[in-house]
């Protein structure tokens, strides 16, 4: 009986840590629905975190491609005095990138809620 109690207690602790980590991640970057995200696209640094092939297949007009694989090396090319709008396929990478930016001293960080997979706006694609 004691073994089950210990297992249950451990599961509760792990669950709490996961929830707290999720809240910590969300403090780094503000999630915006598509309509809000679209409003200021011309006045922000728009970053697509997906790999080059997916970016070329279709991306939001004006977006700069910085794949997550290279993000830690290239994020210092972003300006700290302008808002940064991040997006990826589903939104998961944007949370990680936002946390990295926050640690590096960036403050005005936003992400596209649910990623580009739910995007209904215009897309620019490279014609092959």
pLDDT higher for 19 or 72? 72
User: Which pLDDT score, from 0 to 100, does residue 84 have?
Assistant: 98
**pLDDT > 90? residue 54:** yes
**Domains annotated on the chain, with CATH:** 29-125 (3.40.250.10)
Q: What pTM value is reported for the model?
A: 0.78
Give the residue-averaged pLDDT of 31-38: 94
Identify whether the C-beta of residue 47 lies closer than 8 Å to the C-beta of residue 87.
yes
The string of pLDDT tens digits covering residues 93-119 is 999 999 999 999 999 999 999 999 989
Sign, CA torsion 95/96/97/101: positive
pLDDT for the residue numbered 22: 60
Phi, psi of 70, deg, nearest 5: -105, 5
């Amino acid at each position: 009986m004691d073994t089950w109690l210990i297992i249950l207690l451990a599961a509760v602790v792990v669950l709490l840590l996961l929830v707290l980590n999720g809240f910590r991640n969300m403090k780094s970057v503000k999630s915006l629905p598509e309509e809000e995200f679209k409003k200021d696209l011309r006045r922000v640094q728009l970053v697509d975190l997906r790999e080059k092939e997916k970016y070329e297949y279709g991306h939001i007009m004006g977006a700069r491609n910085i794949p997550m694989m290279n993000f830690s090396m290239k994020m210092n090319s972003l300006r700290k005095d302008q808002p940064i709008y991040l997006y990826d396929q589903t939104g998961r990478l944007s949370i990680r990138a936002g946390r990295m930016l926050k640690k590096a001293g960036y403050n005005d960080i936003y992400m596209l809620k649910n990623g580009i997979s739910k995007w209904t706006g215009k897309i620019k694609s490279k014609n092959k």
